[in-house]
Structure 1
Amino acid sequence: MRAKWIFLVLGLSLGLIACRTPQVAFQEPALPGYVPLPAPSVTRLWLQPGDRVAICGDSITEQRMYSRLIEDYLTVCVPQYQVSVRQYGWSGERAPGFLARMTNDCLRFRPTLATTCYGMNDHEYRPYEERIGRAYVENLGAVVRAFQAHGARVIVGSPGCVGKVPHWVKSATGTVADLNRSLGTLRNLALQVAEREGAGFADVFVPMLRAGELGRQRFGTNFMIAGQDGVHPDWAGHGVMAYAFLKAMGLDGDIGTFMVDLRDNSIRVSPGHELVSAVGRTFTIRSHRYAFPACLPRAVIPEGPRPAFPACEDEPGNETASLRAAFGLVPFHQDLNRLMLVVRGGSAGSYRVRWGNTSKVFTAAELARGVNLAEAFEETPFAAAFARVDAAVAAKQAFETRQVKQIFHGPEGRADLEKAVRQTEAERDRLVAAIRAAFVPVTHTLSILPAS
């Protein structure tokens, strides 16, 4: 009888969506004393053709880095969805702050898919307290329901982790581990809110925490997944965040496949790519989808966007600011960035593959299994075109911050909000058109010759 009561109490405890630390059967090795609820597998495609995507969050979103990576990816890697993106980051914001402004700033533009990333400020930079969890659950749930009431699907993102106790938050208390256990608890609560409300879930916290630990092992103790100030990530942290949200959208990561048969020097290309010509074992291809770069040659990076996209020439030692580091800490290329070259039917033991201006040698066995060009080649033929798209995306997202924070909530918006909306939307339309103009098909050449 006593055993029955124990199991009954345990079942009721696990069924509650409350503000107590959820209990599961294992602890997180990177954070002793923290027990993450298992994140569910993504079993549906949350992104739909023609979606209007709203990326919502606090100052980490207002950095316009993970949001920029997401929009870059949706523009050049999956253009068949023809989505549009707006970012709504606001420094210092908590979930109730966005709830108060979402009708004015966001819902008027009729988003169909929204991502949220709140919790960093909500946890108040202090060890977890029940009142913090109650407020977080209440307000985050209200945000999700408001989006759903206006016809939008929602992906609830958890907060990330911290690397330092922030010096600018005078009320901050506890250790870094205390704050991360608090953020981890909000991560568990965000997962429960998503499940209760029928929303998707992007686990930002656990991948960032683990990437931070692995990064320190690989690159040294100066590596900071949460950025130099311990809260605002640089490119490495934002790369992990973008990975979490894109995975949560249900995208399959298939950029394309080139199938080469050396017996008759023929090639088959997948949708999104077209064969222009084949001369011997040299193939010219026109691609309407790009592989996503981990860096760009400095020569093609425009002067304007800040922060600048990471350069391939960057020296080792600042992996905190490196997408290459991020894509090695999470399986970005494997899960989201597969442009596969498969070569069969040859008689040589190895082959030199020249793609654009770069060449590499692969064994026949590697080529028969398939080589991911996006991962194997750091500099790709898409670099210059991608740089132009990224610069246009960065300019648009910078304007979106100004549009909402300085105009909608400034003197112009207070005087006549609808007029301010009309005038600023005309400017934003020009910036959107610049992205479309920058995204063009790329023609590139692939040759496969015996390595000898």
Structure 2
Amino acid sequence: MKKISSIILACLGLSLATFGSSATPFEDGDRIAFIGASITHAGTYHWQLQTFYATRYPYKDIVSRNFGVAGDSASGVLKRFDWDIKPFNPNRATVNIGLNDIGYWLYEDNGSVEENEKERRIDSHLESMDGLVKMLTENGVRPTLITLTPVDETGTQARARMVGVNEAIKSFSPKIKAIADKYDAEFIDITGEMERINIEEQKDHPDFTLIGPDRVHPRAVGHLVMAYLILKAQGVSPIVSTVNIDATQPSIMKEENCDVTQCSKTDDGISFTCLAKALPFPVSRDAQYALELVPFTEDLNQEVLTVSGLKKGDYELSIDGEPVLYGSADIFAAGVNLAVNEKTPQYRQAVAVKNAVYAYADLTKQLRNIAKVEHGSLFDNLTDPTIDDRIKCLENEISRLEDTDSAYRNYYINLYKDYIKIKPKQGDMLKEIQPLFDRIYSLNKPVAHTYTIKRLSPES
């Protein structure tokens, strides 16, 4: 793994500054609809965003819901808004949709589709996006338009390359921003930066992909990079807490986003109590490599403890009696970032919050499978269908698919079987949503912890 150099960080900061993005953080009372297609339906970037807000702003009531539908388009969202999204009563929305609209598959190697067909699809997408943003604003929803994730045009995956998709996306992204400006909506550009990261990493690791084996759908690492770029554009606080103590007194030199009390000397060090106003952001195991690609920790996850004036020697930091860190006096004087220390009780609490978010997100993802089926055309010829009517229709479709060799045969067979299994339980599942969400906000309130820094031995 390669670490991000200071030069690359500087370049990254420059590119973020020149994106033309204009977005604001989610605030207390916001109800956010994450609108999209498969990357939203089955993805995790919105889980990461909900986890970040639940841990960084634990006293703000921010509710979000996945409204992705795999295979959908902007025109499709227009059709399903009233029955699918509007009942949630959102006042904010992110909109990340368009790969299906423009027909990303038309760009595969040796594709025979005429250029004017590609242009026609782009023009149609822009028209639908204008209508979608207009409809959202008329319904009291302020949208944040997020440019499309790039396809992996340069990786070694088995699937044919789709050359030119990213240039097409970047060519019409300014028009997406113009739509945002037209309706006083927000805009975040992630396409170019994700493409740049992917290409840069492939120079040293040709088999790497930020996107995935199908060149289209990001995996966990790509979704955390998406979340990072969105959060940076929103200008969220990077501070979990900052504590700076002079051990010679001892005295509190700085406390930010926390309350430090009971600071006193001990025979071999100092102790104090800290009540932070946030929790660190816990990064999932499957997304860890994202930290090698973007400065997430440096920019968004800072829980820094600095203790100057310690006598030379080695020290143990304990929190609530549990050792979490060993270091020299110089290390503590330079400052340690506890946000990445998985041994701390606050990190373990943050993991519990993350797990609660994921339980909530997993249930809503199952409900998206129901929406995916009902948003399709299979039931169009049924008049006021009952659940049994729909199940019978799907059973017939499964039988038909089993006799085909369609590329998406197994996907739709499994989707329809899942619908048959969970549709009768939909009412009970809907009742579970609020308790699951409430659990997130019952677990995310920081508690006071006692810190003890104890000298182990003098410096040798």
TM-score of Structure 1 vs Structure 2, range by shorter chain = 0.7 to 0.9
Residue identity in the other structure for 1:372: N
Judged with a 3 Å threshold, the aligned counterparts in structure 2 of structure 1 residues 151 and 234 are, in CA distance, closer, same or farther, namely: same
Contact residue 72 and residue 100 of structure 2 kept, 8 A: yes
In 2, distance between residues paired with 1:208 and 1:352?
Answer: 40
What residue is the counterpart of 1:391 in the other structure? 355
> Secondary structure of the equivalent of 2:64?
strand
Q: Which of 45, 49, 52 is equivalent to 1:66? A: 45
What residue is the counterpart of 2:79 in the other structure? 100
What residue is the counterpart of 2:19 in the other structure? 39
- For the aligned residues, what is the CA RMSD? 3.7
Contact residue 154 and residue 161 of structure 2 kept, 8 A: yes
Unmatched segments (≥5 aa) in structure 2:
1-10, 108-114, 388-423
What per-residue deviation string (whole Å, max 9, x for no partner) do you get for residues 22-81 of structure 1? xxxxxxx99xxxx99942254x63422111111111111122411111111111111232
In 1, distance between residues paired with 2:371 and 2:171?
Answer: 36
> Secondary structure of the equivalent of 1:156?
strand
> Secondary structure of the equivalent of 2:442?
helix
Alignment of 1:369-380 (within 5 A): 370-375=335-340, 377=341, 379-380=343-344
Contact residue 170 and residue 191 of structure 2 kept, 8 A: yes
What residue is the counterpart of 2:279 in the other structure? 290
Contact residue 153 and residue 163 of structure 2 kept, 8 A: no
* Post-superposition offset of 1:351: 6.4
In 2, distance between residues paired with 1:36 and 1:133?
Answer: 25
What residue is the counterpart of 2:305 in the other structure? 341
| Structure with the larger RCO, 1 or 2 (CA within 8 Å, 6+ apart) | 2
* Post-superposition offset of 1:367: 5.3
Unmatched segments (≥5 aa) in structure 1:
1-28, 295-308, 311-320
Alignment of 1:133-212 (within 5 A): 133-163=122-152, 175-212=161-198
Judged with a 3 Å threshold, the aligned counterparts in structure 2 of structure 1 residues 278 and 91 are, in CA distance, closer, same or farther, namely: farther
> Secondary structure of the equivalent of 2:40?
helix
Residue identity in the other structure for 1:208: M
Contact residue 310 and residue 329 of structure 2 kept, 8 A: no
Judged with a 3 Å threshold, the aligned counterparts in structure 2 of structure 1 residues 109 and 369 are, in CA distance, closer, same or farther, namely: same
In 1, distance between residues paired with 2:154 and 2:318?
Answer: 48
What per-residue deviation string (whole Å, max 9, x for no partner) do you get for residues 198-249 of structure 1? 221222212211221233345x222210023222212210111111222233
Judged with a 3 Å threshold, the aligned counterparts in structure 2 of structure 1 residues 122 and 383 are, in CA distance, closer, same or farther, namely: same
Residue identity in the other structure for 1:163: D
Judged with a 3 Å threshold, the aligned counterparts in structure 2 of structure 1 residues 334 and 351 are, in CA distance, closer, same or farther, namely: same
Judged with a 3 Å threshold, the aligned counterparts in structure 2 of structure 1 residues 367 and 192 are, in CA distance, closer, same or farther, namely: farther
In 2, distance between residues paired with 1:65 and 1:424?
Answer: 20
Q: Which moved more, 1:118-127 or 1:131-140?
A: 118-127
What residue is the counterpart of 1:257 in the other structure? 242
> Secondary structure of the equivalent of 1:258?
strand
Judged with a 3 Å threshold, the aligned counterparts in structure 2 of structure 1 residues 372 and 81 are, in CA distance, closer, same or farther, namely: same
* Structure (1 or 2) with the larger CA radius of gyration: 2
Q: Which moved more, 1:401-410 or 1:63-72?
A: 401-410
> Secondary structure of the equivalent of 1:141?
helix
Contact residue 312 and residue 328 of structure 2 kept, 8 A: no
* 1:433 aligned onto 2:438: yes
Number of equivalences: 385
In 2, distance between residues paired with 1:360 and 1:37?
Answer: 38
* 1:361 aligned onto 2:327: yes
Contact residue 144 and residue 188 of structure 2 kept, 8 A: yes
Contact residue 38 and residue 69 of structure 2 kept, 8 A: yes
What residue is the counterpart of 1:116 in the other structure? 95
* Post-superposition offset of 1:279: 5.6
TM-score normalised over the length of structure 2: 0.72
In 1, distance between residues paired with 2:361 and 2:452?
Answer: 38
Judged with a 3 Å threshold, the aligned counterparts in structure 2 of structure 1 residues 138 and 228 are, in CA distance, closer, same or farther, namely: same
What residue is the counterpart of 1:303 in the other structure? none
Residue identity in the other structure for 1:384: R
> Secondary structure of the equivalent of 1:60?
helix
What residue is the counterpart of 1:231 in the other structure? 216
Contact residue 257 and residue 269 of structure 1 kept, 8 A: yes
Judged with a 3 Å threshold, the aligned counterparts in structure 2 of structure 1 residues 259 and 238 are, in CA distance, closer, same or farther, namely: same
In 1, distance between residues paired with 2:16 and 2:353?
Answer: 38
* Post-superposition offset of 1:445: 4.6
In 2, distance between residues paired with 1:404 and 1:100?
Answer: 16
What residue is the counterpart of 1:214 in the other structure? 200
Residue identity in the other structure for 1:270: E
In 1, distance between residues paired with 2:264 and 2:141?
Answer: 46
Contact residue 385 and residue 442 of structure 1 kept, 8 A: no
Say which structure is richer in helix. Answer: 2
In 2, distance between residues paired with 1:64 and 1:45?
Answer: 22
